[in-house]
Amino acid sequence: MPECGLRHGPLTRRTVHLCIDMQVLFRDTEWHTPWLERVLPQVERLAAAWPGRTIFTRFIPARSPEAAEGSWRRYWRRWEGLTLEALPPGMTELLPPLARLVPPAELLDKPGYSPWFRTGLQARLQARGADALVVSGAETDVCVLAAVLGAVDLGYRVVMPTDALCSSSDAMHDALLGLYRSRYGQQVETASTTEILDAWRD
């Protein structure tokens, strides 16, 4: 599917790169995402270009199923081996090429799919005067989806680097890119990492 491009013009200093869950957890466990390392160089390009304008989220599992709320308790019973009590040390950390950028890049830990829930993300973005987000990371059809929908609801311009997103499902990745382009075309733009960096010089 071709890129749609930056229809709303260049990006400015009020743009923030929100990188979703590029963690060891999704490389070295049952939740292995095959594309993770394939898109890592593009994610690193984006973050390294503007490290002071990058926020990395980390998905933090529940300590145990009993510590989770509501239907998450059932979820963590299914994935009990991936709770904090069961995981070896270091699994929730960023992949090393990204971890080296913190600081000046920031970390934001989240207990669920959405970076907007119980994290203070909106306050951080307001403090920066942000009006646009470049959203990269994993997975296109889960946590990235939650990030994008929240950003749309809050009125942010959303730009998605299609070569800096990954999923464990090719079919769902392709379907979600089609959804972003067709159903959210007024709020979401899709472009390559190179096109985004070329347009983000302020």
Domain assignment of residue 1, yes or no:
no
pLDDT reported for residue 3: 54
Please report whether residue 68 resides in a domain.
no
Q: Which residues of the chain have pLDDT under 70?
A: 1-4
Give the pLDDT of residue 167.
87
Confidence (pLDDT) at 186: 82
In 10 A of CB 61, how many CB atoms? Answer: 23
Q: How many domains does the chain have?
A: 1
Place of tokens 């994610």: 43
Residue 70 has a pLDDT of 97
**Full domain range(s) for residue 167:** 15-60+92-198
Domain of 121, CATH number, reads 3.40.50.850
Using the CB atoms, write b or e for 148-167: b if 16+ within 10 Å: bbbbbeeebbbbbbbbbbbb
